[in-house]
Amino acid sequence: MHALNEASMRLGLDALCQRDASLSKVVADRGPPPLWTRRPGWHTLIRIILEQQVSLASGRAIYRRLAADISPLTAANLSSCSIARLRRSGLTRQKAEYCRGLAAAIAERRLNLATIARQDDERARDSLCVLKGIGPWTADVYLLMALRRPDIWPAGDLALIKAIEDLYGIADDAAMLALVERWRPWRAIAARILWHDYLDRRGRS
């Protein structure tokens, strides 16, 4: 599968700006968005699980405590930890179960992220969502950020929903879905433009 790089990012930006005046204005006003990548691997999946329904800063802080408490942070070490110990690192019971389950799948080789990286978007998403705690949003963020797939849209992302409401005045789910469909095959770049706009409006980086 082709991963986004600086060249394909420029190509996608040009295509989106030509077909969508609102996205074009964001890019003109705020500049091109960062490529925003993460390192592929199970550590990144753990971080995305920890970021579910909380701020990125909160998720990052919990991950740092987890990595400090379990050293080295290997799949085998994490999978052998008790829920109580994981909760002392700041994880909720539910997220502790999710993270331990993911670590066990990696340690026992039931989940192969290298294989998933070679799968098409739909199959990769399905392969990830087999695990408890990894739903469509978590899988899509991994595909978008870590595997840099160009046409991923993490539906339900609150920042993207708010960015669309701010920019287009759209709050209806069906209308939002129709809008997003217009951005194929560059929906992951449209997401980056909207995240960039969302963060800039709020004075965040």
Same domain, residue pair 12 and 46: no
Model pLDDT for residues 46-95, shown as the tens digit of each residue: 999 999 988 889 999 999 999 999 999 999 999 999 999 999 999 999 99
How much is the pTM? 0.95
Task: Show the tokens assigned to 34.
Answer: 């960062």
Q: How many domains does the chain have?
A: 2
pLDDT, mean of residues 2-26: 97
Same domain, residue pair 79 and 131: yes
Same domain, residue pair 113 and 178: no
pLDDT, mean of residues 176-184: 96
User: For residue 2, what pLDDT band results from cuts at 50, 70 and 90?
Assistant: confident
- The 3-class secondary structure across the chain, one letter per residue, is CCCCCHHHHHHHHHHHHHHCHHHHHHHHHHCCCCCCCCCCCHHHHHHHHHCCCCCHHHHHHHHHHHHHHCCCCCHHHHHCCCHHHHHHCCCCHHHHHHHHHHHHHHHCCCCCHHHHHCCCHHHHHHHHHCCCCCCHHHHHHHHHHHCCCCCCCCCCCHHHHHHHHHHHCCCCHHHHHHHHHCCCCCHHHHHHHHHHHHHHHCCCC
Same domain, residue pair 47 and 142: yes
Which domain range does residue 192 map to? 6-36+152-201
Query: Does 134 score more than 90 pLDDT?
Result: yes
**Do the domain assignments include residue 1?**
no
pLDDT at 90: 94
For the domain that residue 118 is a member of, what is the CATH number? 1.10.340.30
**Do the domain assignments include residue 96?**
yes
Same domain, residue pair 100 and 48: yes
User: For residue 163, what pLDDT band results from cuts at 50, 70 and 90?
Assistant: very high
* Residue at which a domain ends, from 106, 126, 146: 146
User: For residue 204, what pLDDT band results from cuts at 50, 70 and 90?
Assistant: low
Rounded to the nearest integer, the mean pLDDT of the chain is: 95
Cα–Cα distance for residue pair 153/141, rounded to 1 Å: 8
**Do the domain assignments include residue 64?**
yes
pLDDT at 160: 96
In this structure, are residues 152 and 140 in contact, taking their beta carbons and an 8 Å threshold?
yes
Same domain, residue pair 76 and 118: yes
Same domain, residue pair 172 and 95: no
By residue count, the chain amounts to 205
pLDDT, mean of residues 37-47: 97
33-72 per-residue burial string, b: 16 or more CB within 10 A, e: under 16: beeeebebebbbbbbbbbbbeeeeeebeebbeebbeebee
Query: Does 176 score more than 90 pLDDT?
Result: yes
pLDDT, mean of residues 148-170: 96
Same domain, residue pair 78 and 122: yes
**Do the domain assignments include residue 116?**
yes
Cα–Cα distance for residue pair 20/124, rounded to 1 Å: 29
Same domain, residue pair 116 and 25: no
- Amino acid 6 reads E
Same domain, residue pair 50 and 31: no
Cα–Cα distance for residue pair 190/116, rounded to 1 Å: 24
pLDDT, mean of residues 1-14: 93
- CA dihedral sign of residues 75, 81, 84, 90: negative
For the domain that residue 180 is a member of, what is the CATH number? 1.10.1670.40
**Do the domain assignments include residue 133?**
yes
Same domain, residue pair 71 and 132: yes
Same domain, residue pair 139 and 55: yes
Residue 106 neighbours by CB distance under 10 Å:
23
Query: Does 205 score more than 60 pLDDT?
Result: no
Model pLDDT for residues 92-129, shown as the tens digit of each residue: 999 999 999 999 999 999 999 999 999 999 999 999 99
